């Protein structure tokens, strides 16, 4: 049986892009008579709020996007993540990193296509004596291999990266003690029985890192489907920070069936943006109809809000 998940971060009201991702994860599972898990990913204590999580659940119910069970929130799973970190440490796969933000973003350092710095492995080469001299509290990084790790995405096709060349050793625990998204999501998906991950195309590049972590921890690899992003008329990604078409505004103007119809049309499921319920969408969902490329939200639709 397919077990999928919707794993939002309660750092603000869901915007149109978040709703799109939730709808696509829901449709992929419901069309296969599978099970859907809701997991609140509230790792970041500075941005996540319980009231946002409560609003998120209520918004999903308003849309008709139900779930079968709820996984434990990540903020409550620190001991479990520590156990995963210890497993990596026993294998000699992680090391402390004392680099400052300025050093990581130095202009002379190589950067990935998204602008993030490719870690050069500076602290991996430190001796024990040199580490003892450091006073800064370290982050912890996972050693990555100098080889290609690839997978076949259910929508985007084959994707691969050489982790050493395209991201470098990456953080699994921040210097402030917060466990990194990559470690938490991999450990939680395996522990909660997730077999299918449907999420935005912006996370496509995270998948080889997560597959490497799965291999290091001896965990199974899920199947992945990365859906296109919704963009503003200027081609900008929608964001909570900019309050782009959030559910507070959308619910004032649209019925849930109207909103789902707009999103189903953007996905390629419907020929035109006509009102449709979630249950009706599940009956006509066909993965071969899905668009692979990002979708610009109609300027007329956008300006109405």
- Could you give the CA distance from residue 267 to residue 164 in angstroms, rounded to a whole number? 34
Query: Domains of the chain, with CATH numbers?
Result: 3-75+228-303 (3.40.50.620), 78-151+162-184 (3.40.50.620)
**Run of H or E residues at 36:** strand 35-39
pLDDT at 104 over 60: yes
Q: In 3D, which of 74, 62, 88, 80 has the Cα closest to residue 38?
A: 74
Tokens of 231: 């963009």
DSSP string, 169-210: SEEEE-TTSPBPHHHHHHHHHHHTT--EEEEEGGGGGGHHHH
* pLDDT value of residue 106: 72
Q: For residue 138, give the DSSP letter.
A: P
SS3 of residue 227 by DSSP? strand
62 within 8 A of 252, measured Cβ to Cβ: no
Report the pLDDT value the prediction gives residue 258, as an integer from 0 to 100: 93
Query: How many Cβ atoms from other residues are within 10 Å of residue 226's Cβ?
Result: 24
Closest CA to 178 of 99, 81, 103: 81
Q: What Å distances lie between residue 276 and 59, 206, 252, 255, 299, CA to CA?
A: 17, 33, 18, 10, 22
| Low-confidence winner among 78-82, 100-104, 226-230 (lowest mean pLDDT) | 100-104
Most confident residue range from 106-120, 178-192, 237-251: 178-192
pLDDT of residue 296: 78
pLDDT, mean over the chain: 91
Average confidence (pLDDT) over 43-58 = 94
Taking only the tens place, the pLDDT of each residue in 278-287 is 999 999 999 9
266-280: per-residue pLDDT in tens?
999 999 999 999 999
Picking from 110, 55, 49, 119, the residue whose alpha carbon sits closest to that of residue 248 is 55
pLDDT at position 240? 60
Q: What is the mean predicted confidence (pLDDT) over 139-147?
A: 97
Confidence band of 218 (pLDDT split at 50, 70, 90): very high
Is 0.85 topped by the overall pTM?
yes
pLDDT confidence of residue 215: 98
| Residue 216 and residue 92 in contact, taking contact as beta carbons nearer than 8 Å | no
Q: What single string gives the DSSP state of each residue in 64-128?
A: T---SEEEPPGGG-HHHHHHHHHHHHHTT-EEEE---HHHHT-TTS-B-TTSPBPP--TGGG--H
Confidence label for 110 from pLDDT (cuts 50, 70 and 90) = low
Q: What is the pLDDT of residue 300?
A: 45
Residues pairing with 149 in the sheet: 161
* 114 — pLDDT class (breaks 50, 70, 90): low
Q: Report the pLDDT averaged over residues 119-145.
A: 94
Indicate whether 295 pLDDT > 60: yes
């Amino acid at each position: 049986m397919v077990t999928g998940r919707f794993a939002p971060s309660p750092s603000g009201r869901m915007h149109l892009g978040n709703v799109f991702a939730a709808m696509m994860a829901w449709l992929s599972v419901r069309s296969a008579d599978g099970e859907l898990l809701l997991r609140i990913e509230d790792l970041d204590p500075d941005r996540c709020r319980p009231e946002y999580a409560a609003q998120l659940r209520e918004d999903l119910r308003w849309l008709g996007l139900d779930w079968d069970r709820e996984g434990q929130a990540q903020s409550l799973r620190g001991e479990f993540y520590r156990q995963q970190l210890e497993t990596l440490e026993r294998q000699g796969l992680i090391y402390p990193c004392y680099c400052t933000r300025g050093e990581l973003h130095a202009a002379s350092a190589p950067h990935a296509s998204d602008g993030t710095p490719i870690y050069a492995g500076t602290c991996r080469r430190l001796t024990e004596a040199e580490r003892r001299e450091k006073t800064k509290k370290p982050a912890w990084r996972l050693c990555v291999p100098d080889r290609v790790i690839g997978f076949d995405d259910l929508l985007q096709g084959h994707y691969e990266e050489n982790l050493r060349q395209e991201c470098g050793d990456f953080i699994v625990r921040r210097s402030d003690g917060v466990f990194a998204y990559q470690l938490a999501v991999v450990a939680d998906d395996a522990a909660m029985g997730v077999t299918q991950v449907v999420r935005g195309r912006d996370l496509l590049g995270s998948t080889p890192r997560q597959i490497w972590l799965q291999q290091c921890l001896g965990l199974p690899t899920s199947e992945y489907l990365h859906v296109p992003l919704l963009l503003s008329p200027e081609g900008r990604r929608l964001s909570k920070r900019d309050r782009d078409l959030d559910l507070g505004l959308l619910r004032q103007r649209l019925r849930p069936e109207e909103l789902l119809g707009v999103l189903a049309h953007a996905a390629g499921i419907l020929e035109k943006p006509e009102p449709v319920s979630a249950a009706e969408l599940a009956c006509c969902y066909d993965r071969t109809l899905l668009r692979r490329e990002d979708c610009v939200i109609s300027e007329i639709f956008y300006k109405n809000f």
